[in-house]
Amino acid sequence: MAGKAPPAARSEAKPAAGGRYYLQVAAYTTEQDAQARRDSLRQAGVTDAYVERGQSNGRTVYRLRVGPFGSHEAAQAAQARLRALGYQNGLISGK
């Protein structure tokens, strides 16, 4: 997949800039769950998957994301591949 692989050590690490589109695959309430899913994606060849810590409705969430992608079309192609891997609810966002 397009994009650069982020450092694997911490969930707060974001990938290096290389595009402005990201695919949010899912959000989890525990870092452990998010990291486990990230690891599963990486084993499936999705090397640019990472976990980002955030807030939603006053609660900490761990967002599983893929990217960055240089175009909306590249993000859509990644979204299709992730659907084939069983991740149906991915959302494309631009930053």
The pair of structure tokens assigned to 95 is 């930053």
The distance in angstroms from the start CA to the end CA of the chain is 19
Work out the mean pLDDT of the chain and round it to a whole number: 84
pTM of the model: 0.77
Note the pLDDT of residue 9: 34
> What is the phi-psi region of residue 57: left when phi exceeds 0, alpha when psi lies from -120 to 50, beta otherwise?
left
Quote the CA–CA distance of 37 and 76 in Å, as a whole number.
20
Note the pLDDT of residue 19: 79
User: Quick one: pLDDT band at residue 95, thresholds 50, 70, 90?
Assistant: low
